[in-house]
Chain A
Amino acid sequence: MGALSIRNVVKRYGNVTILKSINLEVRDGEFVILVGPSGCGKSTLLNMIAGLDTVSEGEIAIGGRVVNDLPPKDRDIAMVFQSYALYPTMNVRENILFGLRIRKATPPQMEEALARVAKTLQMEHLLDRKPSQLSGGQRQRVAMGRALARDPALFLFDEPLSNLDAKLRVDMRTEIKLLHDRVKTTIVYVTHDQIEAMTLGDRIVVMKDGEVRQVGSPQEVYDDPADLFVAGFIGSPSMNFIRCTVESRDGRLGVGLHDGTGTFFVPAPPSITGLSERAGREVILGIRPEQITDKDPYAGANPHSIEQSARIEVVQPTGPDTLVLIRLNGTPVTCRVHPGANPKASQPLGLTFDLSKVVFFDPATEKRIR
């Protein structure tokens, strides 16, 4: 019974509304990510779940029990912080056992917890060190160990990897995922890093300006974004947005694109019926970089693709792929091509546009056109 329910939760500071009626149901054992740009209210929401901040309106329930008025220690939660927040005067052992000691656990209980945590996180050899004698990754592990020791119903992670360097962050990401597979405790995890969100979460909650913009599995959020913000926020390099006008050609709806030398027609997937009422009006076409690639000899099987040549402006090799920038309708557009295509700046390159997953947005409301 570790499930979390957030019902119509509002947070106000004076006249400023930070969170506008948040609703979220978290299933037992689920790994949920709250992701959004800074200032979107995700950390505030986490603090409210933890009981470190008060709820202005609405209800938060953990394991079916409304916890609005319970202090943090009675909520059966544990939290891991960005700055680790280890107690500097205590060694690792004392840090891990502090919570149990405060709760007057018996020595055998503490021994058992310490052995379990040290084994799970493989840090038996670190127990007698002070936090200042540990590396960043080790400190983060101790912070997780402190959370694990009490075996809570709900884990809260507040940007736990932001203070680590890039390589360590990738390692710790794997470790957190493995940890969740092992302990199966419900986790609510806050991050501003969309890659962390994609790789870790069972479900992602995308937030902006104190509102939930979309909730879904990483793939759902990636393939089927609810609005322009979610589409642009999730994915790296981010989705290309091209302003264009809806046209009808040969009985098919689509948009016209020009690359400076000529204009070509991009038919929309027939499933997007919302375009029919917008003929002649402006929309925003969303197409991800990997949907524009070099000519694939096997692409013939995809009926939703068109081929078009465009002049390359910039070439950015990343190793596995090479990102090339072209210009469509005056907007720079990133394409992800195979390094073997050997693209060169200011040269034309034949490109394949996979149109099966393109999306359209209303320029005024920024909502998806479906």
Chain B
Amino acid sequence: MAEFTRAESAGGRAFGRVIVYGLLVLVAIYYLMPLIVMLTTSVKSLEEIRAGNLVALPTSITFDAWSKAWGTACTGADCSGLKGNFWASMNFVLPAVVISTLIGAFNGYVLTLWRFKGSDALFTIMLVGCFIPFQVVLLPMAQTLGWLGLANTTPGLVFVHVVYGLAFTTLFFRNFYVSVPEEMVKAARIDGADFFTIFWRIILPLSPPIIVVCVIWQFTQIWNDFLFGVVFSGGERQPITVALNNLVNTSTGVKEYNVDMAAAIIAALPTLFVYVVAGKYFVRGLTAGSVKG
């Protein structure tokens, strides 16, 4: 009798598993579908797209659309593809990510381990920065850039993204450093280390988990940004997001879906790359500090 019950419950458990995995597979397919359609469409020829069905697999694979999107696709009168914009994006995204992460780390260090009168109030004010929509700062930012002589320049765009990103990066690092014992800083001070030495030699080496989180967040935000890109960049150095929009929305000529899809994937590749490379650290970093190491 007892064995019978056990067998039944084991069978019940297996059945439950099937349902769980079945659901997961369904949801995964649902989420992957757009990406699959994009990928397959980007390697089809234009004839095949017109003739066939959207979800059908390609009969023959061709990368013509990819090379066109990268090198020769036309946005308006300019027919040099997305490559110029890709590198233009890299040009301001990388410095903006590095600078905002470093300053955020420094802010977090000061706000937790060198508290001063009003440091908590200052942090609260910085936090508010996380909730300010992009649109609100457009006009004042344009004015500021004008005063600084940075309007329509790459350093200008870097500046905008650093300022806007600081609220987030400071929040990340501050919350990470809260779990660093103050006694460690005291010990370092007695050992003879000064403010910057403690930061470089002791605090930053502790920080890789949160640096990864911060870099992923900032890279995704800045790379994917459209509004600041379209407002604060000059015509030649438009970020890839803006160029992609122009490419896809071109109303002249034939609609080249395969080129559009390839261009969209190219625009998304760097963020995808960052996630794949640093993804496991991302989760680790988000949960770090919750458990005493």
Contact = CB atoms under 8 A, between A and B. Distances in A.
Given A85-B181, A89-B206, A52 B192 contact: no
A71 B293 contact: no
Contact of B206 (A81, A88, A150): A88
B192 A99 contact: yes
Contact of A89 (B188, B190, B193, B205): B205
A83 B191 contact: no
Nearest to B197: A102
B185 to A, nearest CB: 8
Nearest to B191: A99
Given A81-B183, A85-B181, A85-B183, A102 B205 contact: no
B119 to A, nearest CB: 16
Contact of A79 (B181, B187, B192, B197): B187
A141 B57 CA distance: 67
B70 to A, nearest CB: 42
Interface string A39-67: 00000000100111000000000000000
A96 to B, nearest CB: 10
Interface string B161-184: 000000000000000000001011
B190 A83 contact: no
Interface residues of B, number: 17
A87 B192 contact: no
B189 interface: yes
A78 B293 contact: no
Interface string B264-293: 000000000000000000000000000001
Interface residues of A, number: 25
Interface in B76-119: none
Contacts of A137: none
Contacts of A72: 186, 189-190
B191 A85 contact: no
A195 B90 CA distance: 64
12 contacts: A50-B186, A73-B189, A73-B190, A81-B187, A86-B184, A87-B184, A87-B187, A88-B206, A98-B193, A99-B192, A146-B187, A150-B191
Interface of A: 47, 50-52, 71-73, 77-79, 81-83, 85-89, 98-99, 102-103, 132, 146, 150
Interface of B: 181, 183-184, 186-193, 197, 201-202, 205-206, 293
Given A85-B184, A99-B192, A102-B197, 13 more contacts: A50-B186, A52-B190, A78-B190, A79-B187, A81-B186, A83-B183, A85-B183, A85-B187, A86-B187, A88-B206, A89-B202, A98-B188, A102-B191
